Chains A and B, each alone.
Chain A
């Protein structure tokens, strides 16, 4: 054991210690990462409570639990909070800030101060957004897409606050993206080559490129939208000669890449978790890297698949159908590589592994419905219905949120030095998995059969399935209890983890848990083979090995 982990390590006075450090303007990437994580979880519970209101309202076909205006406010807040304050800050900000400097062998991010600024934009933006619910006129009511002219006619103050808040969050995201790109490309430890980086670095590089290229377009669009609201210009107001379809193009030019901003980091995290708990190298490193880059490129040119029923020319629909469908190819490569990583391994059936496998199952389901949605004629029928709601919750919840949980189970020992309780973890997985599928599977049928999205009242023939869905949501809410208990209880009395409980090889494990302020006491380790697990098999020449050898796995 060569890793330096003196227990008598003295904090250098650089950082506030104890709980205080999580509430202060710290420049340490690990502290900022955890600040992102905890803030994100707070907003997850807010967003989840809002989802609870939605599901509560939808247990009956009439509008009875909240008023119709309130329902629209709630669903707008739910979408905005979940995307901009939970998923994006957590998979990018939290894990990115915590892990990337370790992975490139640096002591901090390239721009620590910018990093802290990026984080501290988030709480005010979130509070602003939530507070808009309580002011006169209420929060924005036009959905997270804020399509004009509806967003020009609903109460203005709420909509403007929504714009302001999203602009702040977008700014935070851009600052973070610049920081990640600079850190990964410029701060690598000497001797560490790009193709030796752990997969999460590649995922974050791809994500950050998307952030830098697409988020500013959203910012510009929202500025124009706010002009329309405040100064009564007519960019997106048909009554003044404007054009609403232009808004849709610009919005989706950001918001489609945004879905990969939400999922590529999750792909990266899974690529870190699976090899460790399967005790095998990550299968097909090179193709994984290239498929990330392919997803980035394709992700930028498919946005109009959200607009198949708007006024778009036919050639455009055709192009976007084909381009969108082709994203299944690089994504498929990643999934098959993960399956091959599992194959023949020694799988530890712990919570991290279970959540990762749950992710694979759910995401494939959501991906398949996505490819179906990409077909124009199919989409014409199900656009703006619960089928779409089902599709994207399978991906954002079944995919990304599952990965976030897997990552918490995997890296908690690194954050705190203590293990989480595995029994509670498996219970958490079981409840979440069942509740999730119960909640979102029926929505596909509802959409196919005539239930539009964003409605507070619906055809009474859909009542039963909506109630099933609501029960699923309740189960998901309940499933967070074992998780919360586990996380809080284990922080004080969980089993001591040691520095490297998983015997992992990626650099963050080659230091103390929790790590010292500048990550390593000595020089940063040079990890050129981050996935070098596995029994040497020597005999197999990798170039001539056939599928059958792989199928036979460890038994040969």
Chain B
């Protein structure tokens, strides 16, 4: 019933015996887990938690968009239809870029640094292509930011996502630079690459959802 089995309760008046705590001075040597220098690496875990938070921002946007769409009719003459070809190509680019990033990671882990860097560059090119495609789409859309509720939501969602892609591309470039011979990222030390990769997959996943509800729905 209680997880706190009454171990050896303290006798009255002497509450601070070693019964409650193993003698703190028993082992002067620093534990691997509690030393400033080399404590548990929680960085990827922290990044994952942050991505959950970031995902909630998108979730809020999605929820708002879906509610607008089901409750608020658009003014006469506007509709929810969008040109599909370019965004579909864009989706494919982004999905492929996730694969190329993955290849970069596995190449680094198996020690093939130059292949890793090439795959990274490939990913950057795909990311930039996506952004370019996005720009082309923006300039060819029949509506502007404040034309109607759908237009505003469309730009807010894709814009916020595009910001994430831009950030991702910058991160990949940094990783690419650091993965050069003698850089910070190596076969042994690949946190930076893994963090960027996790982030990139996240941005990719968000896009797939976004594509589904914004373009296909």
Contacts and interface: CB of A to CB of B under 8 A. Distances in A.
Interface of A: 1-4, 105-108, 110-111, 114, 174, 177-179, 181-183, 185-190, 195-196, 212-217, 219-221, 223-224, 227, 231-235, 240-243, 246, 249-250, 253, 281, 284-286, 500, 503-505, 507, 510-511, 518, 520, 522-536, 542-543
A243 B72 CA distance: 7
B24 interface: yes
Contacts of A242: 68, 72, 149
Contact of B71 (A213, A243, A535, A536): A243
B33 A190 contact: yes
A217 B24 contact: no
A6 to B, nearest CB: 11
Which one of A221, A235, A250, A511 has the highest number of Cβ atoms from chain B below 10 Å of its Cβ? A235
A194 B44 CA distance: 21
Contacts of B64: 220-221, 224, 235, 246, 250
A344 to B, nearest CB: 14
B18 A2 contact: yes
B135 interface: no
B23 A227 contact: no
Interface of B: 1-4, 6-12, 15-16, 18-31, 33-36, 39-40, 42-43, 45-46, 49-50, 52-61, 63-64, 67-68, 71-75, 145-146, 148-149, 152-153, 156, 160
Contacts of A525: 21-24
12 contacts: A2-B24, A177-B49, A178-B49, A187-B33, A187-B34, A189-B34, A216-B57, A233-B145, A246-B64, A522-B25, A522-B26, A523-B29
Contacts of B152: 227, 233-235
Nearest to B30: A523
A277 B166 CA distance: 55
Contacts of A529: 4, 7, 20
B27 A522 contact: yes
A185 B40 CA distance: 11
Contact of A190 (B19, B31, B52, B160): B31
A190 B39 CA distance: 11
B21 A240 contact: no
- Majority secondary structure of chain A interface residues (helix, strand, loop or mixed): loop
Contacts of A108: 36
A523 B67 contact: no
B3 A522 contact: no
A189 B31 contact: yes
B158 to A, nearest CB: 14
Contacts of A196: 3-4
Nearest to A14: B36
Q: Interface centre among B27, B42, B54, B156, by most A CB within 10 Å?
A: B42
A110 B28 contact: no
A212 B23 contact: no
A520 B149 contact: no
A425 B2 CA distance: 35
Nearest to A507: B21
B111 to A, nearest CB: 28
Contacts of B153: 235
A2 B23 contact: yes
Contact of A510 (B12, B21, B148): B21
A524 B24 contact: yes
A527 B9 CA distance: 13
Contacts of B156: 223-224, 227, 233, 235
Contacts of B4: 196, 281, 285, 529, 531-532
B56 A212 contact: yes
Given A2-B24, A217-B56, A224-B156, A110 B12 contact: no
A174 B46 CA distance: 11
A240 B145 CA distance: 12
Contact of A107 (B36, B45, B63): B36
A14 B73 CA distance: 61
B24 A182 contact: no
Given A216-B57, A241-B75, 20 more contacts: A4-B24, A106-B39, A107-B39, A177-B49, A177-B53, A178-B50, A182-B45, A182-B46, A213-B53, A216-B55, A216-B56, A220-B61, A233-B145, A234-B146, A246-B67, A250-B60, A503-B15, A524-B34, A525-B23, A532-B19
Nearest to B26: A523
**Residue with the highest number of chain B CB atoms closer than 10 Å, among A106, A220, A542:** A220
Nearest to B32: A190
A555 to B, nearest CB: 16
B42 A182 contact: yes
B53 A178 contact: yes
A240 B9 CA distance: 68
Contacts of B29: 523
B36 A518 contact: yes
A347 to B, nearest CB: 15
B34 A106 contact: yes
Contacts of A4: 24-25
